[in-house]
Amino acid sequence: QQQVKQSPQSLIVQKGGISIINCAYENTAFDYFPWYQQFPGKGPALLIAIRPDVSEKKEGRFTISFNKSAKQFSLHIMDSQPGDSATYFCAALNTGTASKLTFGTGTRLQVTL
Amino acid sequence: DSGVTQTPKHLITATGQRVTLRCSPRSGDLSVYWYQQSLDQGLQFLIQYYNGEERAKGNILERFSAQQFPDLHSELNLSSLELGDSALYFCASSELAGNGNEQFFGPGTRLTVL
């Protein structure tokens, strides 16, 4: 059962553009939503995370928007750069019962010149 | 560099064999997680240990087992290997057991079963 749905599967954005990746979850017990960035040959690295008590969190060029009623959250990468080309995973966690991250299927982002 | 180390980096073995993957968490981290990443299943949680004890179990096959030793390093044992076990295996660590504690991932072990 896929509890976190992620789209799109792949994304091509021009340098300087905005990259938007969307995720939707089913389990209302999830209360921590991180985004991970993975480069080829490397492990996932935490990019930014949000809890459902806020609707938006911004760190530099990366912003998470969170809609609790719709059970959706998204990652916006402003002024996308070629160095942002990587695979991005959203994830969700119920901090009260377990620490296992439930990941989305990933989005392969390519930022072109 | 996350501070989590995994060995070996690559493993090539045959069906039916048994392998051991090793993980050393970041200094001070008590919790270790194992994840499997494959093309068809994505990133899947396998098992978590906290300070030597099993804390949570995910989609881990009975052929797979893990343990965390007193020095906090962990090993994932995969036995009776099948072609479908070919995947990237990641270890992650965190300071505590839960509460959204950030998980730091190692570079992974790529397992190829021929």
pLDDT in tens, A37-70: 999 989 999 999 999 899 999 999 999 999 999 9
Question: From the CA of B75, how many Å to the nearest CA of chain A?
Answer: 17
Is A99 in Cβ contact with B31 (below 8 Å)? yes
Nearest to B62 by CA among B80, B35, B83, B42: B80
What is the rounded distance in angstroms from the CA atom of residue B76 to the CA atom of residue B68?
9
Indicate the average pLDDT of chain B.
92
Among the ranges given (A34-38, A71-75, A99-103), the one the predictor scored with the smallest mean pLDDT: A99-103
Write down the pLDDT at residue B47: 95
| Per-residue confidence band for B59, with pLDDT thresholds at 50, 70 and 90 | confident
Pick from A41, A43, A100: CB nearest B2: A43
What is the rounded distance in angstroms from the CA atom of residue B69 to the CA atom of residue B51?
8
Pick from B98, B107, B108: CB nearest A99: B98
Would the pLDDT of A18 be above 60?
A: yes
| Per-residue confidence band for B42, with pLDDT thresholds at 50, 70 and 90 | confident
Q: State the average pLDDT over residues B87-109.
A: 85
Would the pLDDT of B20 be above 70?
A: yes
Q: β-strand B10-13 against B109-113: which pairing, if any? A: parallel
Would the pLDDT of A26 be above 90?
A: yes
Would the pLDDT of B92 be above 60?
A: yes
Would the pLDDT of A1 be above 60?
A: no
Touching check for B3 and chain A: CB below 8 Å?
no
